[in-house]
Amino acid sequence: MPIPSRNENENANDYMSRCMSDSSMQKEYPDDKNRIAACMGKATESCDPIEAAGFNIGYEEGYSEDITEENFYVPLEAEYEDFGEEIEEWDVSIAKPGLWENIQKKKERMGKKYKPAKPGDPDRPDKDAFKKAQSGGDSEMAIEQIMKMHDQLMEVVAKMQTMQIPVEFQDWTKDMISKAEIYVQNVYDFVKYYEPGKYEDENEDKEESYSSEYQGRKVTLNKPFRTSNGPKKFAVYVKNESGNVVIVRFGDPNMTIKKNIPERRKSFRARHNCDNPGPRWKARFWSCKAW
């Protein structure tokens, strides 16, 4: 299938957004990284090597996509991150009834198999994975993970108890602590009241609940959410210059930011001109907000 051509006078960023959200491209290249590579080649085919390299580096900040039935996703509340922006609720069924109809048709075609998150995401367990966990195959791994968390938490507590100046937690860290408390409490209750054989019979009901959980049609604008399977660390629904809602993806999923280190933070903000981050429908705006 031919890759979409770049229109006359269309800049590379606009072309990338159009190419990445093209429905035919999404079907031909379901893996986002492969689609990026294909679109990137076409976007820079008329550029000299230096221009191409510069665009490639700049594009690493992220990109935007038009919303389609393939990429529309309603995040769980726990996946959202508060970046301090004014938010609003957006209902796709009202704003784009044609798109909502396509999403509904896709759900009908796939039935219980419909899961916007990609297969293999840890928070979207399938039946085989659920049974494997029940059989004890993952018990040793779970114990190792829990012990690792225990050791890290004890180290944090010990360090905080010896600090002369109390830690001033930022809002995002407070939010993560609150979410972690809920997750740990759920695991605690599950293990404490565990009954062998009880949960396999309930698995079909759980699968149904996972399916119905993603039947939502409303998302929150200007509030980023974590994406568990890339290609970027975050995504956010925003309105672009035309008033249309798009998805902006940003953040390297393979790196942890070092904004607590003043030199790193200063360097990043200078490199990306964060004193003038541009509009919120561009990835640079949100990358700068993260830093």
**Phi, psi angle pair for 196, to nearest 5°:** -55, 135
pLDDT at 209: 44
Can you tell me whether residue 237 is helix, strand or coil? strand
Of 69 and 88, the structure prediction assigns the larger pLDDT to 88
pLDDT at 123: 41
Can you tell me whether residue 245 is helix, strand or coil? strand
pLDDT at 92: 92
pLDDT at 117: 44
Give the tens place of pLDDT for each residue, 84-129. 899 999 999 999 999 998 888 877 777 666 655 443 344 444 445 4
Share of the chain above pLDDT 90, in %: 14
pLDDT at 114: 60
Question: Look-up: residue for tokens 């012990």?
Answer: 147
Q: Which of 30, 61, 34, 85 is nearest to 225 (CA)?
A: 85
pLDDT > 60? residue 150: yes
What is the pLDDT of the chain when averaged over all its residues? Answer: 77
pLDDT at 54: 67
pLDDT at 222: 95
Give the tens place of pLDDT for each residue, 199-250. 555 444 444 444 444 457 899 999 999 886 666 888 999 999 889 999 999 8
pLDDT at 119: 37
Q: In angstroms, rounded to a whole number, what is the distance separating the alpha carbons of residues 100 and 111?
A: 16
The pTM of the full predicted model, rounded to 2 decimals, is 0.57
Q: In angstroms, rounded to a whole number, what is the distance separating the alpha carbons of residues 6 and 67?
A: 20
CA 273 to chain centre: 24
Q: Which of 217, 234, 239 is nearest to 88 (CA)?
A: 239
Mean pLDDT of 252-268: 73
pLDDT at 43: 85
